[in-house]
Amino acid sequence: MDSGLFGMTAVVSAPLAGNSAKTLSVAPMLDWTDRHCRYFLRLICPSCVLYTEMIHTSALVLGKSPERYLAFTAAEQPLVLQLGGDDPEAMARAAILARDYGYTGVNLNVGCPSTRVQRGNFGACLMLTPALVREIIDALAGSGLPVSVKHRLGLDRQEDYGQLADFVAQVAAGSCRHFVVHARNAWLRGLSPAANRTIPPLRWDWVARLKEDFPGLRFELNGGLDTVPKVEAQWSRVDGVMIGRAAYHRPLFLTELELALGRRQAPARRAEVFAALLAYTEDWGAALPAPRLTRHLHGFFFGEPGANAWRQFLGCARPDQSAAQFFRENSARLAQFGLTLA
């Protein structure tokens, strides 16, 4: 199923834990960063580390078809599997599956504040139990894969750098050397997950301070990094940055970032990205219904005069046609956007 990257793979490195290179990552986003979205983002951003959506360990170790959750296209690498759960034994088994599928690393979700996730005792509420987080990370590390944790600054209205540093110290007493920090608290009561991504105040300085206090650990900064100047200002203070919503809504932002950070010489061109995506849809054929891909392409012309027309065009994709068919049948409309079927 791997349709290649038209020569773009040469730029891909594997900058994960243990490697001192700085990382540019795209955040795990449930319902958004599925494999088709990731493939599209990879075409735009050859140097970034991609993350899966969070997958609960029980779906992998108890479910009948882990393949459904774990399958990916080789070009998506470096690709990290994000896991949710609180059972070290299930984590260990899930990480072995991840290793066998060829993932680049595994990451533990300690940031999701949803009530469903709280009821399952995982996500952000694990910040209350650093010893358990350490145990889980150690279980993941048994697979031999690089491990990391994605967490918040703290919980609810309690803003306390000392507690955050204590969390990091306790987790780092085990195998974890890589911390991805969504630089705001998670409020477990009274805020939806979406509001939890905007209302609790961002404190990027705390992540830079963690780097100063724990120079031997890797800290990746996440949260609100939605312009090139914001990223440039933080880049030297941490070991990497992770971009979430901006990467999804404005995917070409990633190529701007790669350029600004000196990770590529020329920007990704829409026509080339589209040509590679078209090849991907043809590899998939009927197994890829058009809306499963087109729903991730809405931001492809973000900020351009044709952005609305592009979204309207994508809205015409029908579930009973494949993505390849949809594009093939609409060559005239694609031409209006400077895209060809070549």
Catalytic residues, which ones?
A: 112
- Phi and psi angles of residue 283, each rounded to the nearest 5 degrees, phi first: -60, -40
Q: Does 187 bind ligand FMN (CB under 6 A)?
A: no
Binding to ligand FMN, residues 49-68 (CB under 6 A): 53-54
Select from 197, 263, 270, 292 the one that contacts ligand FMN (CB under 6 A). 197
- By CB under 6 A, the residues from 153 to 182 that bind ligand FMN are 182
Distance CA(247)–CA(16), nearest Å, equals 20
**185: contact with ligand FMN by CB under 6 A:** no
CB of 4 to ligand FMN, least distance (A): 28
How far is 36 from 71, CA to CA, in rounded Å? Answer: 11
With beta carbons less than 8 A apart as the criterion, state whether 297 and 281 touch: no
Name the residue nearer to ligand FMN (CB basis): 29 or 61: 29
Phi first, then psi, for residue 15 (nearest 5°) are -85, 75
Answer whether the bond into residue 251 is a cis peptide, omega within 30°. Answer: no
Stretch that binds ligand FMN, among 22-30, 211-219, 272-280, 284-292 (CB under 6 A): 22-30
The two tokens of residue 118 are: 């709280």
Q: Nearer to ligand FMN by C-beta: 270 or 296?
A: 296
> Alpha-carbon distance 334 to 272, whole Å?
13
Considering the complex, state which of residue 78 and residue 223 has its C-beta at the smaller distance from ligand FMN: 223
Residue (27 or 172) nearer to ligand FMN, CB? 27
- Binding to ligand FMN by residue 257, rule CB under 6 A? no
Q: Within 260-299, which residues bind ligand FMN (CB under 6 A)? A: none
Q: Is 30 in the site for ligand FMN (CB under 6 A)?
A: yes
Nearer to ligand FMN, 237 or 333 (CB): 237
Query: Does the footprint of ligand FMN cover residue 240 (CB under 6 A)?
Result: no
Q: Are 243 and 27 in contact (CB under 8 A)?
A: yes
Binding mask 294-323 toward ligand FMN (x if CB under 6 A, else -) reads: ------------------------------
The CB density around residue 127, as the number of other CB atoms within 10 Å, is 23
Quote the longest CA-to-CA distance of the chain: 60
Mention every residue, 6+ apart, whose C-beta is less than 8 A from residue 313: 330, 333, 337
- Can you point out the beta strands (E) in the chain? 23-26, 49-56, 79-84, 105-110, 147-151, 178-182, 218-222, 240-243
- Binding piece for ligand FMN, criterion CB under 6 A, among 70-78, 216-224, 259-267, 310-318: 216-224
Among 47, 57, 77, 82, interactor with ligand FMN by CB under 6 A = 82
Q: Which long-range contacts (CB under 8 A, 24 or more apart) does 246-249 make?
A: 247/26, 247/27, 247/41, 247/45, 248/29, 248/32, 248/33, 248/37, 248/296, 248/299, 249/298, 249/299, 249/302
- 27 and 109 in contact (C-beta within 8 Å)? no
Among the listed residues 36, 56, 93, 150, the single contact to ligand FMN using CB under 6 A: 150
Q: Is 251 in the site for ligand FMN (CB under 6 A)?
A: no
- Of residues 205 and 329, the one with the C-beta less far from ligand FMN: 205
Q: Compute how many residues bind ligand FMN; rule: CB under 6 A.
A: 23
Question: Would you count residue 32 as binding ligand FMN (CB under 6 A)?
Answer: yes
Nearer to ligand FMN, 31 or 212 (CB): 31
Task: Look up residue 190 and give its DSSP letter.
Answer: S
Which residues bind to ligand FMN, rule: CB under 6 A?
A: 27-32, 53-54, 82, 109, 111-112, 150, 182, 197, 222-225, 243-246
